[in-house]
Structure 1
Amino acid sequence: MKEMLKHKRASAFLLLALALVLVMSGCSSSTGQLKTTDDGRIVVDFWYALGGNLGEAVEAVVAGFNESQDEVYVNAVYQGSYEESLTQLRQVVGTSEAPALVQVFEVGTKYMIESGYIEPMQTFIDRDNFDVSQFEENILAYYQVDGKLYSMPFNTSNPIMFFNKDMFREAGLDPENPPRTYNEVREAAKVIKEHFGGRVDGFSVISHGWFTEQMIANQGGLYVDNDNGRSGEPTQALINQEEGQRWFQWLADLREDGTLGNYGRDWDDHRAAFLAQTVAMYLDSTASTSGNVNNADFEVGTAFLPVPDGVEPHGVVVGGASLWMMADIPEEVQEAAWEFIKYAAQPDVQAQWAASTGYFPITKAAHNESVLQEVYEQYPQFLTAVEQLQNTKLTPATQGALIGVFPEARERVVNAIESVHNGDDPLEALNRANEEINRELENYRRANQ
């Protein structure tokens, strides 16, 4: 995510860089980075970072664009996970092997802006008077800095709670009135545990820093100072303030109750546990909605993120990724890439994308497209994400933190969460993570002075 890391600890994902050889099939000529197909179409190399069914959906968007016109050919290349893709980009950026477009996850925003290798979307927006009011404000705001849009939102998610409606019914809980507060979740988890004789975990959350970011923001708290890094370079982490303390203490309370499932760091392990009915409630990305609903042998329920009792929910920070254009490429390639970006943002394309993946459409009008209306009617679970994001209050808290060491910060938070699972004092673990993030912030500032 950011080659700004010159200090001693290299995050695990930096070690996963793949030595990939990019093969351009169907290309007959190239001059520098300007490539053309046999029939003269300008080639746009596009690196994406979604695998499995999500990757197939990306390929479908690309295929739709390639079939819609005869001047541009987008060559989509899967580069592994977000971390792996960004590691690979760092190795080739500024060279002829770099792509024209790359999909980067949201916490790579600051690195990409400061890399010097990207062309802001605002360049094309201003030139073409492109209407950005068509996009969801809460999504757009994440990728805007000082009023300038640097990348185009592509796949957008937010976190929700999934729960097993059948288990709720069997245990005497109301599946149409899911828990909304920490205490309500805690009590429901106890009921589940008792009813199923301890065979089912009441609640779980993956050991990932994203949910700590979300739970703090949902309470209106900031992750770092200076308005979450939006009004100036952040100097202090704030995750150990009362918002973070409530979240970590709640996890410790659930563990003490014996209702907190621990399925590690792997997203698929948590999803598998839910589908196997080993856990009754868990937090996940909205991007898993389609998979959960279609693969479960029970009725899947969805609910907003819970908040501490007595706290008004502020909403969520968008997750997912956006599309970044490289600056050091021929103008013709930039223009071709811009055409694809505009195509991917069209309401009908966004509606089909959302219907097939569970990601949130970035374009407001997409919700009115028949393909998405049919999904909402058949699977109301999809509407939870829509309502939660549209109810979000746009503040520095929900706009999301802008820091240059986000992957490192997440790793520190993951370690702290795992400490809680191991029975350590939650506030001590949180304070330790906060101090570690402060050191990362200081190292980053020194490296970029």
Structure 2
Amino acid sequence: MPGKKKHAIIALMLSAVMLTGAACGGGGGSDAKGATGADKGGSSSGAPKKVTFWHAMGGTNQKIVEQIAADFNASQNKVQVEAIYQGAYDDLLSKLKASMGSKDSPTLVQMYEIGSRFMMDSKTTTQMQKFIDMDKYDLSKLEPNIVSYYTHNGKLDSMPFNTSNAILYYNKDLFKAAGLDPEKPPKTFEELQKAADAITKTGKASGASFAIYGWFMEQLMANQGAEFVNNSNGRSALATESTVNNEAAVKTLTWWKNLVDSKAATNLGRKTDDTKKAFSAGQIGMTLESTASLKSLVDSAQGKFEVGTGFLPKPADGKEGGVIVGGASLWIMNDRPDDEQKAAWEFVKYLASPKVQASWHINTGYFPITVAAYDEQSVKDNLKKFPQFQTAIDQLHQTKSNTATQGAVIGVFPEARQIVEGAVEEVINNKKSPKEALDGAAKEITSKIQQYNKTVKQ
């Protein structure tokens, strides 16, 4: 594709999406060490090949990423990685777009999962599968339910990096006070309603609160085997319509509204930080949150109450489903020299090694993407300290990979997520019925999908 046409299409695509997002995760330093076969990425001159890695891991996680890069650099002399924080995901993408075709573009870039369709359509990346085939890299070493999200048409587009999913958190002390079994978290919508009612009636706290976050709706739909868009969630062909007004979504939003209307749950708005603070303060009995928040939530409750964890709830008559992974993956940019791209691949392999993944998991709360990381003693010790994380591991492993649990692939996902959040607010605030609000959301998302698709037709 000619350079000017390519940039014009990228500009159109960028205008079609309103990317919003923030990195999440826990804290602590990293002592990650590991072996690498970095010689393949080295330059023929003997000088280290420089790899520029742009990422969106802020706060404590920025220090952890920088430490991993430093450890990699110290482990060999063929490749030198410079990890550069570029702000939140939307800031990173804006800077990426501006750098394309220039000497300032990165070699490796992190992009959150709902930016995957955009990265694919931009034609600016080298498919990760190329390096996997070239190196005969064994993908079976990685978690299959994580890899499947970033796989399209049987090919891996990007390497999973920071990965999470959503689980139920609950206050065991409030369960006891309400006469509930603290070792039996609710598994269904109906059981959660009863537990929330019981907690609210104690007068000690509100039974539950869920942030109005589109990701939670996506998760609760997938847990019932329901897809977000047509054409097998955009995986068998380019998605053209939203199906966010399906039966599972309407049932979910109806249940959510009933919780609030019956005073079993409190609406604290869109900010997940607000529900996390309320939970940590003992003001709500149950909440939904990312597995990446587990360590911080358990730590913040220390000395006040015991945190329990459970699988995402679903209707008692809900169809079989599971969770969708969240987080981000790594993309190698195709406008960099071949030897530089190969050098980036060496760093990607290092990141996926068991020891590095074990350290990444322990210090951030994200899942290890490598199965063997669970065999590391450090991970075993961490599970003893935070047994609640076993819930997250079991939920991931018990999820059957299908087009619902793989997640949707659309170029306007960030906007679609905000539209769904608006629909949830309309229902919670008694402005529209669940079906009416979701019908409107589906129509609006479909329109934006179709506008986007016009920009990527060759």
Output the TM-score relative to the length of structure 2: 0.88
Question: How many angstroms apart in 1 are the aligned matches of 2:440 and 2:246?
Answer: 13
Tell me the residue number matched to 2:217: 212
Q: Does 1:346 align with 2:368?
A: no
Residue 90 of structure 1, CA deviation: 1.8
Describe the SS at the equivalent of 2:208.
strand
The residue identity in structure 2 corresponding to 1:265 is R
Tell me the residue number matched to 1:274: 279
Q: Does 1:327 align with 2:339?
A: no
Question: How many angstroms apart in 2 are the aligned matches of 1:131 and 1:157?
Answer: 23
Question: How many angstroms apart in 2 are the aligned matches of 1:230 and 1:192?
Answer: 42
Tell me the residue number matched to 1:48: 55
Q: Does 1:442 align with 2:450?
A: yes
Residue 402 of structure 1, CA deviation: 1.1
Q: 1:283 pairs with 267, 288, 298, which one?
A: 288
Output the TM-score relative to the length of structure 1: 0.90
Tell me the residue number matched to 2:228: 223
Residue 83 of structure 1, CA deviation: 2.2
Cα deviations by residue, 1:96-135 (Å, 9 ceiling, x for unpaired): 2221111100111111111111011111111111111101
Q: Does 1:126 align with 2:133?
A: yes
Tell me the residue number matched to 1:398: 405
Question: What count of residue pairs does the alignment treat as equivalent?
Answer: 424
Residue 43 of structure 1, CA deviation: 2.0
Cα deviations by residue, 1:349-394 (Å, 9 ceiling, x for unpaired): 1111111111111111111110101111221111111100100011
Describe the SS at the equivalent of 2:297.
helix
Q: Does 1:315 align with 2:322?
A: yes
Instruction: For 1:194-205, list aligned pairs within 5 A.
Output: 194-196=201-203, 200-205=205-210
Instruction: For 1:2-401, list aligned pairs within 5 A.
Output: 3-5=11-13, 11=18, 13=20, 40-196=47-203, 200-296=205-301, 297-401=304-408
Question: How many angstroms apart in 1 are the aligned matches of 2:378 and 2:319?
Answer: 34
Aligned 8 A contact 2:129 2:157 in 1: yes
Name the stretch that deviates more: 156-165 or 295-304.
295-304
The residue identity in structure 2 corresponding to 1:401 is A
Cα deviations by residue, 1:332-360 (Å, 9 ceiling, x for unpaired): 32122111100000011111111111111
In structure 2, the gaps of 5 or more residues are 1-9, 22-41
Describe the SS at the equivalent of 1:260.
coil
Aligned 8 A contact 1:6 1:447 in 2: no
Residue 417 of structure 1, CA deviation: 1.4
Residue 312 of structure 1, CA deviation: 4.5
Residue 416 of structure 1, CA deviation: 0.8
Name the stretch that deviates more: 39-48 or 92-101.
39-48
Residue 226 of structure 1, CA deviation: 0.8
Describe the SS at the equivalent of 1:236.
coil
The residue identity in structure 1 corresponding to 2:199 is I
The residue identity in structure 2 corresponding to 1:214 is Q
Question: How many angstroms apart in 2 are the aligned matches of 1:13 and 1:147?
Answer: 29
Residue 255 of structure 1, CA deviation: 1.3
Describe the SS at the equivalent of 1:261.
coil
Distance 1:6 1:112, change over 3 A: closer
Tell me the residue number matched to 2:440: 432
Aligned 8 A contact 1:153 1:323 in 2: yes
Aligned 8 A contact 2:13 2:118 in 1: no
Name the stretch that deviates more: 50-59 or 410-419.
50-59
Describe the SS at the equivalent of 1:292.
helix
Distance 1:83 1:270, change over 3 A: farther
